Structure 1
Amino acid sequence: MSGILDTVNLRTQMVGQNRLELLLFALETDQVYGINVFKVREVLQCPKLTEVPRQTTSVKGMAHIRGETIPVLDLSEAVGRSGIPKDEHQQCFLIVAEYNTRTLAFLVRKVDRILNTHWDQIMAPPAEIGVENYLTAVFEYEDRLIEILDVEQILADLYPMHTNVSEEIATQEMKSKAKEYQILCVDDSSVARNQMQRSLEDLGVKVTTCNNGKIAWDMLNKLSENGNDVTELFLMVISDIEMPEMDGYTLAAMIREDPRMDKMHIVLHSSLSGGFNVSMVKKVGADGFLAKFNPDDLASVVIDRIKKLEQRL
């Protein structure tokens, strides 16, 4: 355990092509869950929490950690299970993570290990379980099925976010121009896809969505094989970074290496934090990085691309 607690911060700075490291943990049952280490700032024993008056959600209080006051979310309760009793909090652990520019601590019963694997071994949940769940992917390891939680969906339910683009940015003139363009959005989280689609359609552009990098690549490849110029079909590709089967870094690199589509404008869009994003964007040949999720920032990236294209005409 001490090894995990001591090395998580170092491991968050690591990134490899189509690979990931999962921090495995347990809640109130023997089921094992995983979270991408790149999203984890640190893991620590749960300190005494400061209660929040009239708190009615699964946020159980605040922890003062390294000069920051961080809300603590009981992950068991957030996914619809029994929460961890208050008198047992200090026997549990906090996973301090950053999602969508927000820092939170997830209260979990046990932290297991860090597992190194590849995105092509991570699979989307079976369609038969439906869409009303908090799973974004599954992974078989040592005869166990590890579940990767859709933390973005959990946080969206707790903290609903608006998706409307401000009128100052989405002017009528720009909306009229945007109608001529289509964007390919790639993300394994249904809540992230819906957020992007609503914001971009509010701007006026047409939106095509794919659930992961492999699906997007297969679609682009098929279109190209059929004689289509995908750089003319799509204004740009906006892709999440961490996805099952093929991550955003790999998708961007494969597009750049294919002469049929190497001029595609690519923006990586992720809740991942850390300075490595800038260097990885350059390494795989993407044109930019955008942190999730701000509808005005998303629209501004698209508008900037449209304006640059019009200047060339």
Structure 2
Amino acid sequence: MEPPNVSAVTEFQLLGFQNLLEWQFLLFAIFLFIYVLTVAGNVVIIAVASHDPRLHTPMYRFLKHLSFLEVWYTSTVVPPLLAGLLARGGAISFPACMAQLYFFVFFRATECFLLATMAYDRYLAICSPLHYPLLMRPETCAKLVAVSWVARVVTGALLCLMISRLNFCGPNQIDHVFGDLPPVMRLSCSSVYVTRMVIFALSITVLCVCFLLTLMSYGFIVAAILRMPSASGFPKTFSTCGSHLAMVTIYYGTMISMHVRPNAHLSPEINKIMSVFYTVVTPLLNPVIYSLRNKDFKEAVRKARTERGHVCGLRARGGFLLR
């Protein structure tokens, strides 16, 4: 007899999109293109926000951390997904699956807290502009960022510890694009009631609470905008807040549907599409929503390109003269 808490399954087979075999190469090209754009866009945000002194504000401090997180968040899922598309399915060892699950939960929970923090930052900037420099000092920003990163380590470790202590006797086929919590637990041959309740409680705490705080912040922002005596900046401010809120709503909506609302009646294909959306598409939307629509950031990008062009021109002319 096997000892308890020891998994008979040593690896999982990720089925991915095997029901779309004729579309494997096209899906690979699409996901690779999105992944390259996501990494490049977020790296540009980090570089420009770090280089330009005008962007050394609390908003862009948070945005740099969000961009750094997005690079690693999407890198946790997309490269194994691309490898599986090329191989028309792939295997992942049990320890590798737990590692992927840990980093996925850790980055996802951290992003929820960062999005709520950024919404609170915009609330203070618009609703309390006179007190904003005092309330959002560099020390305060550093503490908020530290809490968002450090506190979520425990969340990921707790969930992965509970999953790793389950028994997996077979089958070992995960009908999903990566080792997410619901499809992995469905393969367990032991009771998952306690684990499911803990996941539900943490999901309510992290997802729903952060989502409600974000909605409250943007609700106060919209109310403040409507009370503005001058309508000169109303369209731009309302459009920016509206795009932020739309992205946040889509991001939280897909994750809450996956991890809070019972999804047993949803087909595996729908679950795959929803997972791909918040792991592949959303990290690409963040650079567009939070930076490329911002006038200050676009001016900083143009300035950086101009300075780089001048430097390259001087180097080229210098090299010509040396010859």
User: TM-score normalized by structure 1?
Assistant: 0.27
User: TM-score normalized by structure 2?
Assistant: 0.26
Larger Rg: 2
RCO higher in structure (CA 8 A, sep ≥6) = 2
Between Structure 1 and Structure 2, which shows a larger proportion of helix residues?
A: 2
